[in-house]
């Protein structure tokens, strides 16, 4: 039976490449901004467009955030892509005014709350002689914890995927880190916990190996 997977539209860019990738993997993908569609879907994908604070503002106002938390609590498979991965965490500082007008302060930084599926934060990549944003193909190394991640196969270790981002996640629990990439710092490029998965890269733009990740997610759904 073909499964219904909703690609969450939070009004920040073109989502058609993610929709095509899911359809090519055998799903029936639907781009929607409606919380009711998120709650009724068999699986959910948050694509990677926009900035943390702006995305969360729209999701909170529209009811998408609560619908996503409900879907996760019900055990529905979830995939975050790029920004979608960062939104899985407790908090982020991207596009948050640092004057106290928005969000909350911790360790001298102002943050807004994320979806809270995973404990941790979204922070900017350090500028240490490398260009930020990080754009292009880069290698992914599977961790020991990642060897049991249902999204991955052993031969994906050392493969290259396509990245375009300035921010990365910093999980509190290292056991959710399924793979890492080294650019300016070693950061999680795949996270995995229960029914929730996240790719900091864009699988829909990462050739055959990226297509395999999309296929494995559809199979999970």
Q: How confident is the model at residue 1 (pLDDT cuts 50, 70, 90)?
A: low
pLDDT for 131 beyond 70? yes
113 among known catalytic residues: no
Distances (CA, A) of 123 to 86, 87, 105, 138: 9, 11, 14, 19
Annotated catalytic residue 202: yes
Is 82 a catalytic site residue?
yes
Determine phi and psi for 185, rounding to 5 degrees: -160, 165
Which of helix, strand or coil describes residue 52? helix
Give the domain 3-220 fold.
Rossmann fold (3.40.50)
Which residue out of 19, 82, 165, 199 is catalytically annotated?
Answer: 82
What are the boundaries of each domain within the chain? 3-220
Instruction: Say what percent of the chain tops pLDDT 90.
Output: 91
Residue 188 pLDDT > 80: yes
Is the pLDDT score of 88 beyond 80?
Answer: yes
Alpha carbons 103 and 112: distance in angstroms, whole number? 5
Q: Which residues contact 107 (CB under 8 A, 6 or more apart)?
A: none
Q: Which of 98-102, 192-196, 206-210 has the lowest mean pLDDT?
A: 98-102
Q: Using CB atoms within 10 A of its CB, is residue 219 exposed (0-12), middle (13-18) or buried (19+)?
A: middle
């Amino acid at each position: 039976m073909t499964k219904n997977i909703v690609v969450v539209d939070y009004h920040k860019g073109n989502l058609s490449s993610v929709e095509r990738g899911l359809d090519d993997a055998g799903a029936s993908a639907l781009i929607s901004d409606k919380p009711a569609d998120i709650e009724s879907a068999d699986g959910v994908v948050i694509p990677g467009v926009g900035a943390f604070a702006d995305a969360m503002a729209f999701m909170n106002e529209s009811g998408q955030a609560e619908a996503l938390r409900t879907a996760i609590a019900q055990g529905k498979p979830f995939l975050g892509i790029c920004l979608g991965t960062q939104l899985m965490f407790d908090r982020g500082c991207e596009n948050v005014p640092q004057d106290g007008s928005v969000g909350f302060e911790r360790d001298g930084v102002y943050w807004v709350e994320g979806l809270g599926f995973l404990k941790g934060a979204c922070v900017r990549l350090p500028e240490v002689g490398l260009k930020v944003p990080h754009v292009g193909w880069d290698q992914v190394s599977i961790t020991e914890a990642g060897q049991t991640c249902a999204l991955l196969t052993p031969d994906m270790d050392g493969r290259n995927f396509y990245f375009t981002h300035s921010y990365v996640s910093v999980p509190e629990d290292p056991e959710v880190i399924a793979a890492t990439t080294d650019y300016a710092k070693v950061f999680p490029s795949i996270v995995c916990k229960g029914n929730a998965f996240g790719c900091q890269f864009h699988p829909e733009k990462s050739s055959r190996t990226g297509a395999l990740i999309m296929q494995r997610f559809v199979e999970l759904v």
